[in-house]
Amino acid sequence: MNIKIKGKNINIRTGGYDLKNKNKALLLIHGAGMDGSIWQLQTRYLASKGIRTLAVDLPGHGFSDSPSLKTIEQMSDRCLQLLNYLKIKSAVIVGHSMGSFITLEMAKKENKIIKAISLLGTSHIMPVHPDLITASENDLVMASSLMVDWSLSKKQHLGNHPAPGYWMIGSSVRLIQNSPKGTLANDLKACNNYKNASDSAKNISQKVQIISGAEDKMTPQKNAITLAENFDNVNLRVIQGTGHMLMIEKPTIITKELYNFTISNLII
């Protein structure tokens, strides 16, 4: 599905279902250098269960028009504009990595429409090494290889996916490499510059779910715990044997978690 906001096309992946209940939705927000296709193992199942599932390609990502946005605050505003454009009155927001920061900002700004949030691969800070930022500007092949190597757990490097033929390393590297020039650099800088996660968390009244990978090197479990301490109503779960890319490393577990979390906070 494509819509136009501020003259720019925004692509949304729906899982292939056109559901009657249009004013309630689950919005999925991807991480740096990626797009809504990272949720492909969740969208169809969740939509088939009657949940209006929207996996957005942020500006400058996937099939959405460029340019990409440069700050977490700008990205959160665009996603809120998306909810308003679609006339969604009640939503659960899920964000992965950079998307978790976007989700935090959205929930802080809008507590009427947004009923609950789920944060995957999150942290109170996301510092990015200067060398990785430089690589993202000048050598996307190197940057994508470094990111994916650090994102996946040990088992995933050997091939340990329930879907036959699914190569997590290759598909993840290619996804990042397909991003438009400058997109990954903008994303990494936005993550590195965003310092408001803990303060935003203190101002969120909605129910919060945090899911962290025990082998996550990008946003370590200890950082997710630090962020969790700032929420009033939070449930933290650590998934063993997985790294940063939880939705593709443990698709069945994550899909069930998101389904149960959504139906408990959003009347479908």
Say whether 229 sits in a helix, a strand or coil.
coil
Tell me the CA end-to-end span of the chain in Å, nearest whole number: 21
Q: What is the pLDDT of residue 17?
A: 79
Write the pLDDT tens digit of every residue in 174-233: 999 999 999 999 999 999 999 999 999 999 999 999 999 999 999 999 999 999 999 999
**Model pTM?**
0.96
Peptide bond into 130 cis (omega under 30): no
Write the pLDDT tens digit of every residue in 112-143: 999 999 999 999 999 999 999 999 999 999 99
CA distance 3 to 229: 37
Q: What is the mean pLDDT of the chain?
A: 94
Structural domains for the chain: 2-265 (3.40.50.1820)
Inform me whether the pLDDT recorded for 29 exceeds 70. yes
